Structure 1
Amino acid sequence: MTPDQPEAPALPDVVVPYGDTRGDGMVQLSFTLPLPHGKIAEGAAQQLANRMGMDPALVVHAKPIGPGFTFVVVYGRVHHHVDVAQVKVVERDYPLLTPREVNAVVKETLQRRLVVVGACIGTDAHTVGIDAILNIKGFAGEKGLEYYRELRVVNLGAQVSVPDLVARAEAERADAVLVSQVVTQRDAHLLNTREMSAAFREAFPDDRRPWLIVGGPRFDELMADELGVDRVFARGTTPGEVASYLAHRLRTREAAS
């Protein structure tokens, strides 16, 4: 901790949600029911909320969103607590670096530019995620990886098949492959990621396989091992976090060699 960083407040052992006053257990929940808008839909929403542990539960908003469908917001009390010691998350285990620092690490370690290949795979046509990380305009006030002098970025865009991604990564001699998945219906993001991981592990020996990094709003960062990738980034990830991770991996590999 540097002198200008304030000390983080101590976490409580147990927490409960609150809406009006601390500790009241009040939460807000929204969902859609396949029922036409009306009293039956609101009654069904309240009963569902009760069965989910909200008691009392009050329907505070309901509106039709199409023939036979109702969007509902329920406000009510839950009677559960969370043991903070049992919360499992992936903490960032590497320092955030500036673009200049990342460039210095790459130049010193590789003696060449680090090659990053990015894509949206399968039928996913949503490039907003991969573009936010790769494009020079970036995201959240940070420049994308194209801005980094010592990184060479190849953005393949959307709807890239896994075989094409593997072939392009091999042709470009990629050090890292970044995949964004926004479409998540029927766990498509998980199926596509597992397919990608298996294909890369079949095509590359372990010592030549590029780092596999996936990201998207519905990914669980704890699932990296299960999905067969090196890192999972969830929603809100910035280009600087990804660039710093790549520099961290380079340093780790250099130290192990």
Structure 2
Amino acid sequence: MSSEERSALHGHPVGPGDKRVVRPYGDTSGDGMVQISFTLPVPHTKRAEGAAVQLANKMGMDPAMLVHAKPIGDGFTFFVVYGRVNHLVDMAEVHVVERDYPLLGAKEVNAVVKQRLRRKLSVVGACIGTDAHTVGIDAILNVKGIAGEKGLEYYRELKVTNLGAQVSVPELVEAARLERADAVLVSQVVTQRDAHLHNTREMSAAFREAMPAGRRPLLIVGGPRFDETMTAELGVDRIFGRGTTPGEVASYLVHALITSRKQKA
């Protein structure tokens, strides 16, 4: 076992720059045990179970133990496999989007908007394309919010327009124009064939074509399958992933539209 692997087992920093190399934890520290789940397009048989274990082996899991198998329709089986992997994770090479703005309470958001913007901040939200899942956008916009935290409709200095589900991109652009939107929030849950990525690119292209840079609203997308590092590639200003709260979104709006612009000025 190398010195890096020994350090990983005990959680010690290794290498220059205080790198920390870690190994998955299952039953005991540093044992490398992980659990994965997947579906194969085969009926549930002993042969199908063998196929699941073979797939796990090819993914680097050795030994691989099948712990759950269940038919989920005609010709499909869902599997859960548990086993050991030898891969290490170098924490110094992990790149994520950290929150780079202060988290404000509702009273603080209202105060900043009222004092510095001197008008209500207009927000337009929707699920675009064929996506009919409004749980995400409603959790952020509706006054009832999520997990005890009020949505953006609760903020008296925010003017919120929720267009609902299955909104076309031209409809969204027109609504943003009519409402003089400062920000457009789009939720995408349906991800088959990367529909969320295609819809987001279509939306950002439509806004670039319809409005000059100085008059274009802040474009924000959210959903459980987005990569938060893809803002430039998708042509948006911010991506929020799973677990995002209304307070985080409201704080970002204040930071991006008011606070940071005042500092630059």
Q: Determine if the alignment matches structure 1 residue 113 to structure 2 residue 120.
A: yes
Distance in 2 between residues matched to 1:175 and 1:66, nearest whole Å: 46
Look up the match of 2:251.
244
Aligned-residue CA RMSD (Å): 1.1
Are positions 1:89 and 2:64 aligned together? no
d(CA) in 1 for partners of 2:74 and 2:156? 53
Q: 1:255 aligns with which of 253, 260, 263?
A: 263
The equivalent of 2:35 in structure 1 is 28
Counterpart of 1:75 in structure 2 is 82
1:50 aligns with 2:57: yes
Matched letter for residue 93 of structure 1? D
Please state how far the C-alpha of 1:12 moved relative to its aligned partner. Answer: 6.5
Distance 2:174 2:263 in 1: 30
Q: Does 1:213 align with 2:185?
A: no
Distance 2:222 2:131 in 1: 13
1:54-69 to 2 correspondence within 5 Å? 54-69=61-76
1:129 to 122, 136, 149: 136
Secondary structure of 2:216's partner?
coil
Q: Over residues 205-244 of structure 1, what are the superposed CA-to-partner deviations in whole Å (9 max), with x where a residue is unaligned?
A: 1111000000000000000111000000000000000000
Q: Quote the offset at 1:256 in angstroms.
A: 2.1
**1:50-95: CA deviation from partner (whole Å, max 9, x where unpaired):** 0000000011111111121111100000000000000000000001
The number of equivalent residue pairs is 248
What is the aligned counterpart of 1:204 among 211, 217, 235? 211
Matched ranges for 1:8-27 at <5 A: 13-27=20-34
Residue 255 of structure 1, CA deviation: 2.1
1:102 to 2:109 alignment: yes
* 2:19 and 2:92 in contact (8 A); partners too: no
1:253 CA drift (Å): 1.4
Per-residue deviation, residues 87-124 of structure 1 (Å, max 9, x unmatched): 00000000100000001111111100000000000000
Q: Distance in 1 between matches of 2:174 and 2:23?
A: 50
Kept in 1, the 8 Å contact 2:101–2:252? The answer is: yes
| TM-score normalised according to structure 2 size | 0.92
Give me the identity figure in percent: 77
Give the secondary-structure state (helix, strand or coil) at the position aligned to 2:214: coil
Q: Aligned AA for 2:114?
A: K
Task: State the alpha-carbon separation in 1 of the partners of residues 123 and 169 from structure 2.
Answer: 16
CA distance in 1, matches of 2:148, 2:226: 23
- Secondary structure at the aligned position of 2:252 is classed as helix
* Aligned-partner SS, 1:179: strand
Which of 183, 188, 198 is the equivalent residue of 1:191? 198
Distance 2:186 2:250 in 1: 14
Per-residue CA deviations over 1:21-74 (Å, capped at 9, x if unaligned) read: 010000001011111101111100000000000000011111111121111100
Q: Which range is displaced more, 73-82 or 246-255?
A: 246-255
What's the TM-score, normalizing by structure 1?
0.95
Q: Secondary structure at the match of 2:71?
A: strand
